[in-house]
Structure 1
Amino acid sequence: MTDRLIFFDTETTGFTPPADRVVEFGGVEVIDTVETGNVLHKYINPQRDMPEDAFKVHGLSEEFLRDKPVFAAVAREIADFLDGATVVAHNAGFDIKFLTAEFAKVGIKPPWKTYVDTLIIAKRRFPSSPNSLDALLDRFGIDRSNRTLHGALLDAKLLIPVYIKLLNLDQLRLTRDEAPAEVVASVIPNQARQTWFPRRDAIAASATEAARHQAFLAKLGDSALWKQWAEEAQEAAAA
């Protein structure tokens, strides 16, 4: 079964829910690394003032948000959009914390299946480098000229190519019969994956499966992350 990913972002009035509130939600559905066209974007009246520091980040003023729906009015639509999906965000803990608090106010349990934090992946790949979204966009040569302020939908869209580059999914040539969640579970080392993938009992590969996997790694070339991590794992096991 193909996994459904929702790349999303939020903008808020600050850092601490429930006193601080969500003022913008943007989400983009992706299946097999391809955008499906299923998008949800909402501006939300936070029912409170907008601190100057927050306004400088996203440019959403009290006046602009005054006639927008409150979260309770759009909560079910957002929950249905996220329902059963693996959600992907940069610094996901921040956004998950806010959405969980907002859903709790209206009696809705978190609807997503699990979440992926691209900041955690980036820190593992580039431990000595800046790993903000802007830094990663620049690292991978992705145009960010229209990102003058933070915007939930824009940032969600920009995160998609970053995610693909972080996991080297562009070299896998996925077909629609392959599940990205399984690819992610294979690409990311166990230590990083445990943050957002449920623990399962390990099942050893058969000799035939192991041979097929080695043949697949050979096709990817020496720069493939899979091959590098497989060699590291073999060295660690032999130590």
Structure 2
Amino acid sequence: MFIIKVIYFDTETTGLDCRDCKIIELAMLTVVDGKVIDDYDEFVNVGEALSPKVIELTGITNDMLRNEGISEETVAYDLKKRLTKDTIMVAHNCQFDLLFVYFLLKSHFPDEADEIVSNVCWIDTVSVLKDRKEYPHKLIDAVHHYNIEEVNFHRAIDDTKALYEVTMAMKRERNDLIEYVNVFGYNPKYGPGPMRFPFIEYKPQPYHNCGKLPDDKILPRM
């Protein structure tokens, strides 16, 4: 019997640049055959002070990281253990979170990181949302669009729970999420960014103002 494992995940970080910044919270909601089997949420003690802007945005404080945070090495191991072959990883703006996950794994498993991230599948719900509704496309916009109860946004574990509900709503709306596996859309005005993963297909995805697109206009069929 083929078992489907999906991990809805989110990161909170010290900044936007994955090469210089670090993950300070990682959340993963693991669903197997439609049932939640694991609810992972850990602060990461990165050994450096957070900026006031990050504290304001995330609600995560230096004391929380010092008193409740675990080591980067432990979080990297927890990731490696969960990212088994054929797992589907789902995130909102997945390229951002994938980059931070990759650099964390690369720091602690330099010879295995590339294989780990390439052996699993990735779905970006922002790319899906852009084919379903007009701008804007933040997670909170998806929550409102699908009439889902709001959570404490910008805390990783709450975002993963909202993301799960959004993804289920997307699936009920149009059951084509499989076509977005390893396909990331990007704004053609800015390009896909300086770093691309060879296992991801990057496609230009202009904004539109017409609501849900017809089947022959969605991103994977461009």
8 Å CA contact retained: 2:121, 2:182: no
The change in CA–CA distance for 1:51 and 1:135 in structure 2 (over 3 A counts) is same
1:95 aligns with 2:97: yes
Query: Normalized per residue, which structure has more strand?
Result: 2
Instruction: Quote the Cα distance in structure 2 between the aligned partners of 1:17 and 1:48.
Output: 16
Instruction: Quote the Cα distance in structure 1 between the aligned partners of 2:97 and 2:11.
Output: 6
- Alpha-carbon deviation of 1:83? 2.2
TM-score normalised by the chain length of structure 2: 0.74
Which position in structure 1 is the counterpart of 2:125?
A: 118
DSSP-derived class of the 2:159 partner:
helix
Which position in structure 2 is the counterpart of 1:216?
A: none
TM-score normalised by the chain length of structure 1: 0.69
Which position in structure 2 is the counterpart of 1:18?
A: 19
- Alpha-carbon deviation of 1:29? 1.1
Instruction: Quote the Cα distance in structure 1 between the aligned partners of 2:200 and 2:73.
Output: 30
DSSP-derived class of the 2:10 partner:
strand
User: Which of 1 and 2 has greater Rg?
Assistant: 1
DSSP-derived class of the 2:19 partner:
coil
Post-superposition Cα deviations, 1:198-221, rounded to whole Å, max 9, x if no partner, equal 78xxxxxxxxxxxxxxxxxxxxxx
Instruction: Quote the Cα distance in structure 2 between the aligned partners of 1:132 and 1:198.
Output: 21
8 Å CA contact retained: 1:140, 1:162: yes
1:78 aligns with 2:54: no
The change in CA–CA distance for 1:138 and 1:3 in structure 2 (over 3 A counts) is same
- Alpha-carbon deviation of 1:142? 0.5
The worse-fitting range, judged by mean Cα deviation, of 46-55 and 116-125 is 46-55
Instruction: Quote the Cα distance in structure 1 between the aligned partners of 2:155 and 2:38.
Output: 18
Instruction: Quote the Cα distance in structure 2 between the aligned partners of 1:193 and 1:77.
Output: 23
- Alpha-carbon deviation of 1:82? 2.4
Q: Pick from 171, 181, 194: which aligns with 1:167? A: 171
| Alignment coverage as a number of residue pairs | 185
DSSP-derived class of the 1:66 partner:
helix
- Alpha-carbon deviation of 1:194? 5.9
Q: Which has the higher contact order (CA 8 A, sep 6+)?
A: 1
Cα RMSD of the aligned pairs, angstroms, is 2.6
Which position in structure 1 is the counterpart of 2:66?
A: 66
The change in CA–CA distance for 1:92 and 1:48 in structure 2 (over 3 A counts) is same
Give 5+ residue unaligned stretches, structure 2: 185-198, 202-211, 218-222
Equivalent position amino acid for 2:99 in 1: K
Post-superposition Cα deviations, 1:149-184, rounded to whole Å, max 9, x if no partner, equal 411111111101101222326x87xxxxxxxxxx63
DSSP-derived class of the 2:100 partner:
helix
Which position in structure 2 is the counterpart of 1:139?
A: 145
Which position in structure 1 is the counterpart of 2:183?
A: 195
Identity %: 21
8 Å CA contact retained: 2:122, 2:182: no
DSSP-derived class of the 2:183 partner:
coil
8 Å CA contact retained: 1:50, 1:61: yes
Which position in structure 1 is the counterpart of 2:52?
A: 52
Equivalent position amino acid for 1:96 in 2: L
Post-superposition Cα deviations, 1:178-197, rounded to whole Å, max 9, x if no partner, equal xxxxx633xx4xxx556168
